[in-house]
Structure 1
Amino acid sequence: MRATPIYYYSSSSGLVRSFAERLGRPVHNLAEREHRLSEADGPWVLLTPSYKTGNDTNDTIPEGVRRFLRSETNRRRLVGVMGSGNRNFGRHYQMAAREVARRSGRPVLFEFELAGTPWDVEEARRIMERLDQALADRPTTG
């Protein structure tokens, strides 16, 4: 069974990278140009932080995520979104994950704060394992 990869964006703090790497599956950092310009080879999950950027539009989606989602193939193959946030951001908490999910029509699979707790990691692993199974059970078209 294929382990659904996670494409994530992590700033220099490394909090999201730390969470992604603890999930025990293929991960790709969209802060790195080679991943940002690539195309997913099958179903994938986005893990994005939300940043309260202070700009006029309150845009919280990292630019690396936006660039990756410019690809029609990547948008089509996206199957779900996870979010990292900081409750100190108030109404901006998890806004990036929720906005990508809303625009794409894909579900928010899981949300956690900052680098997440050990429980958050285990819960996200369980969610991803169920997703892997659901994707494996899908009828194929050919």
Structure 2
Amino acid sequence: MRQTPVYYYSSKSGMVKQFANNLNRPVFDLSERDIRTSVPDGPWVLLTPSYKTGNVDNDTIPEPVKRFLKNPETRRKMVGVMGSGNRNFGAHYQAAARQIAHISGRPVLFEFELQGTQWDVEDAQNILNDLDHELQRAHKE
């Protein structure tokens, strides 16, 4: 069965990268130009951090994520969004994932704080496995 790949962006802290690599499925780092300029070959999930801390002039969506989503074909193939955030951001917690989901009409599949916990990884793995099964079922119909 095809595992839905996760395309992610991680800051220098590496927390999102660590989470993505623990998902045990194909993951692609949007900080790499060749990945950011590619087009996924099928359904995919976005994993993005949020950085907005209350400054209204501070855009919450990381630039590499914006660049990747500029391609209409890439956007069409996105099936969901996962987000990493910091509860210290208050109302802006998970702002990037929620904004992208709202604009794209795709669901927020999972949210976690900072690098997440082992339970967050397990929950995300279960959600993605269920998504894989649902996409396979829908493809057969």
TM-score by structure 2 length?
Answer: 0.96
Q: Which runs of 5+ in 1 are unaligned?
A: none
Shift of 1:91: 1.0
- Count how many residue pairs are aligned between Structure 1 and Structure 2: 141
Aligned to 2:114: 114
Aligned to 2:66: 66
Q: Percent identity?
A: 65
Equivalence map 1:17-36=2 (5 Å): 17-36=17-36
C-alpha contact (below 8 Å) 1:53/1:59 kept by paired residues: no
Q: Distance in 1 between matches of 2:31 and 2:140?
A: 33
Letter of the 2:2 counterpart? R
Q: Confirm or deny that 1:44 pairs with 2:51.
A: no
Q: Distance in 2 between matches of 1:34 and 1:91?
A: 34
Shift of 1:20: 0.2
Shift of 1:54: 6.2
Q: Distance in 2 between matches of 1:9 and 1:55?
A: 21
Q: Which runs of 5+ in 2 are unaligned?
A: none
Letter of the 1:66 counterpart? K
Aligned to 2:3: 3
